[in-house]
Structure 1
Amino acid sequence: MNDQIDILEDETPLEDDDALEGADDEGDADVEAEAAESEETEKYVAESTGDVTQIYLNEIGHSPLLTPDQERALARRVVQGDFEARQKMIEHNLRLVVNIAKHYINRGMTLLDLIEEGNIGLMHALEKFDPERGFRFSTYATWWIRQSIERAIMNQSRTIRLPVHVIKELNVYLRAQRHLEAHLGHEPSFEDIAHLVGKDVDDVRRVMGLNERVASLDAPLDIDPMLTIGESIPDDQHDGPETILQNAEIERYVREWLKQLNEKQRMVIERRYGLNGYEVCTLEDLAASLSLTRERVRQIQIEALEQLRRILRRYGVSRDVVL
């Protein structure tokens, strides 16, 4: 799989606009047929062994990078609301997400999970990208991809189960500890820290004892050295603005993806999962409203989910993120 990831790092862009639409129609038909058969065989082997990550890497490897002119043209269409252009921009930048995500392996999440989180950041970056400012999209998107991945790692791997006010108090003591270490030249005592922050020594000792069981909340984040882990822990009672924006973007994409299903499939998925304003329905209730048998509704649901799975896989998004 490492070889596959290295191949994805090839930064050779498309040479002309025709390449964006697909391969040249000219060529030896037998060679093309053999290549297609080989590709299907590889895909079958990967699927039979359950290597979903390998399947995904194989699929996105067929999307070469865009030239600056192609990128600018597509980005302008995205600004105008062209969903097809948005899809192309995402597809041709999925390799960027993989190249960033692989640097976060062994941080508590699988590569595929890291890619899924990075793809959410990619979609968020595309919503905010302004092609007229002269920056390459990859430069702009990198920060959003890293932010999305690092936030997911923090939320996934942290084992902190402390009240928010305790976390903030611990963060104050850790800052004081770092300040004193810099000025004293040695590790400060609990008494030193208590004196600096004006707190009781026993309180400082008790709260800082919690730090032995958790990662340092005062450590700077990779995405922003001026922001600490403790400061960036979200309030569980309220979604932050980034979460709200990302959820809104996901909902917008879901509406477009559902349009690719036929009417009956879309109706079943919307009502079974409570999408687009519908209440969640049981198979029995849905079967009655559609004048179908329960088993037939279940079959339609399976067919629709399989089609959605193929659509989502192209974007590296887990079904769990959507449904």
Structure 2
Amino acid sequence: MTTMTLPVLSSGDSLDRYIQQISAIPMLTQEEETSLATRLHEHNDLEAAGKLVMSHLRVVASIARGYAGYGLPQADLIQEGNIGLMKAVKRFEPARGVRLYSFAVHWVRAEIHEYILRNWRLVRIATTKAQRKLFFNLRSMKSSLNALTHKEAQQIADDLGVKREEVLEMETRMTGHDVALVADDGDDESYAPIDWLADNDNEPVAVLERRATDRLQGEDLHAALGSLDDRSRRIVEARWLSDDSGATLHELADEFGVSAERIRQIEVKALQKMKTALAVAA
């Protein structure tokens, strides 16, 4: 059994060429839909599924055109809609007396809606069912391109079951524009939001803390080590300041001819002495 190859709309293809290709695919009669759907569900006939999908690709393209105002690539909207179409074909039951076109519209729109909500802005703008309804209906419900008055916003809020403040906020976010965080490299005179962000690395308190840390790890640490006797200093350096993984208590015990417990006692006493010296220096 051979399977049909679906037209694929990639970023490098011409949208017009794709539309021409899918427009040349004939629509199916209701009898043909029923026959193909039966073959798909009873025999898992992928060729039948391909014919059902291909005959309705033009429907997806038509629906996707209605979402051109959101600034997203038309090709991406079509591809997402095609995913919804394939889901609809999988679930289509002609015995219910509904044509595939009518059944698929919901699935196509649902996939396109989800894609727009995921990608329209960096910040998610519609997280509840009511907000999604507002997002996709606000443009068509506005009587003009002018900003909504409070009376108009209240009317839309009542119709959609949301708060007036949500209508006004959604309008503000939909009519705003994305702003680049970093200015164009070729424009030396421009300023971007990143230019106004605080530089915590150069904040005075952070600078003083770094200086104190550097001094503590440098001059003060050297002075604290200098307060130890040779054996104690050797033990601390070998255990804590070595570039390697550090010497073990038993290795140092063999070096000095004492027990490992004795090395541990010397280490504890030396570290306490260094801690006192560093506290005084700070």
Pick the TM interval, shorter chain: 0.3 to 0.5
The structure with the larger Rg is 2
TM-score, normalised to structure 1, is 0.36
**Looking at both structures, which has the greater relative contact order when contacts are Cα pairs under 8 Å and sequence separation is at least 6?**
1
TM-score, normalised to structure 2, is 0.41
